[in-house]
Amino acid sequence: MDIIHSLARMKERARSWQSQGVGIALVPTMGALHEGHLALVREAKRHAPVVVVSIFVNPIQFGPKEDWNRYPRDLEGDLRKLGPLGVTCVFAPKVQEMYPEGFETRVVQERLPEHLCGLSRPGHFSGVATVVLKLFHLCKPTVAVFGLKDYQQVLVIERLVRDLDLDVRIVRHPTVREPDGLAMSSRNAYLTPTERRVAPELYATLRLIRDQVRGGATDIAHAIKEGRKRLEQDGFAVEYLEIVDARTLDPTREIDRPCLVVAAARLGSTRLIDNEFILREEECHPVGDSNEEVFRWKPHP
Ligand code: AMP
């Protein structure tokens, strides 16, 4: 497993694979790797013979009051975990080389960041889209794997790829969870033992709302209100708890299209996010004109 820090070297390697017609699968991460990341790496291996894992705690996606400084970093531990997985190369660039003096270009999207996490984290998705575009240019992937735990991020990247005609296929990977349901996250390391015991309630609440809605509950607003109350009683400071259109992220009260229940909440100083599909795309079928974004439940067999 090659460890590359230099941008020029990464480009050179990527060019050489590209000229030989070898597929390259990229897994972008911020390190402090856990089983969720490793599942993405295993998925990447199914899509291309060359697998590149990038490890970079991207400063431009963190707000001035956010946790860039204290974000967990453990390159040695990460390399040990990736060692047995057959990764071709780990790309761990330095901040000074990614963003040298004078850097000022950013990818900005208009609509998607106006929702959910974008509201409390201004500039976050622009920072994500910018670094991912840079990583795509440097690593030249034919496929890139992203986790559905960060659902809004997946939509941002898919939009980036479509809007800028990038030659990379985005693969979505399901959220990997602890046995008690908590979505794995590098930030879970911040939780105190008491908070860690409470943390799975976030996903439990999303499941409850999903089950109520799928079970036929029609008062969606009430289900959300009760879910929020439940989380607050457990000690969460809820930033948002919503049912949203899976494509636009607009809140929806009609379960007539692909949609999911999404949440962001703080436990002490730790911000947790999670989501659960209520109605998946494959459970719906478009009605009428194929350009029309109108869906109906697909009748269950
Ligand atoms: P991060 O290191 O947090 O930036 O995450 C890197 C990639 O791993 C992103 O595509 C995340 O969505 C994905 N990821 C993080 N946690 C999980 C998880 N629990 N399950 C699946 N994917 C994850």
Give the Å distance between the CA of 192 and the centre of ligand 1.
Answer: 21
CB-based pocket (< 6 A), ligand 1: 29-30, 36-37, 40, 146-147, 149-150, 173, 175-176, 183-186
Give me the mean pLDDT over the 190-217 stretch: 97
Q: Once rounded to an integer, what is the mean pLDDT over residues 64-87?
A: 97
Residue 128 CA to ligand 1 center (angstroms) comes to 13
**Given this model, what pLDDT does residue 297 score?**
57
- Clarify whether 5 is annotated catalytic: no
User: Would the pLDDT of 140 be above 60?
Assistant: yes
Top pLDDT among 254 and 26 is at 26
Mutate to test the pocket of ligand 1, among 40, 145, 275 (most ligand atoms within 8 A of CB): 40
**How far, in Å, is the centroid of ligand 1 from the Cα of 214?**
27
Task: Read off φ and ψ for residue 292, nearest 5 degrees.
Answer: -80, 135
For atom 12 of ligand 1, the residue with the nearest CA is: 147
Q: Which atom of ligand 1 is nearest to the CA of 186?
A: 3
On the question of pLDDT at 296 being above 90, the answer is no
pLDDT, averaged across the chain: 95
Mean pLDDT computed over 50-73: 97
Residue 260 has pLDDT above 90, yes or no: yes
Question: Could you tell me the pLDDT band of residue 300, with boundaries at 50, 70 and 90?
Answer: very low
Dihedral sign, Cα of residue 231, residue 237, residue 241, residue 247 = negative
Residues in Cβ contact with 89 at an 8 Å cutoff, skipping those fewer than 6 apart: 1, 2, 3, 4, 13, 50, 51, 52, 53
User: Can you list the positions of beta strands (E) in 108-215?
Assistant: 143-147, 169-173
Q: What is the chain's alpha carbon radius of gyration, rounded to the nearest angstrom?
A: 20
Instruction: Give me the pLDDT at residue 299, please.
Output: 43
Mean of the pLDDT values across residues 147-159? 98
Distance 147 CA to ligand 1 centre (A): 5
**What was the pLDDT predicted at 106?**
98
Residue 298 Cα to ligand 1 midpoint, Å, equals 30
Predicted confidence (pLDDT) per residue in 176-203, tens digit:
999 999 999 999 999 999 999 999 999 9
pLDDT confidence of 256, banded at 50, 70, 90? confident
Q: State which ligand 1 atom lies nearest to the alpha carbon of 187.
A: 3
- The pLDDT value recorded for residue 293 is 54
Selecting among 34, 37, 173, 222, the annotated active-site residue is 37
**pLDDT bucket at 282, cuts 50 / 70 / 90:** confident
| Averaged pLDDT, 36-52 | 98
pLDDT for 210: 97
Give one DSSP letter per residue of 18-55, joined into a string: HHTT--EEEEEE-SS--HHHHHHHHHHHTT-SEEEEEE
Choose between 285 and 67: higher pLDDT.
67
Ligand 1 atom with minimal separation from the 185 CA: 16
Tokens linked to 155: 């939509």
Query: What residues are paired with 50 via a beta bridge?
Result: 24
- Between 154-158, 179-183, 278-282, 296-300, the lowest mean confidence (pLDDT) is in 296-300
What percentage of the chain carries pLDDT values higher than 70? 95
Least confident of 23-37, 82-96, 124-138, 276-290: 276-290
Which atom of ligand 1 is least distant from the CA of 184? 19
123, exposed or middle or buried, with CB in 10 Å at 0-12, 13-18, 19+? middle
Confidence at 76, pLDDT banded by 50, 70, 90: very high
- Stretch 103-114: mean pLDDT: 98
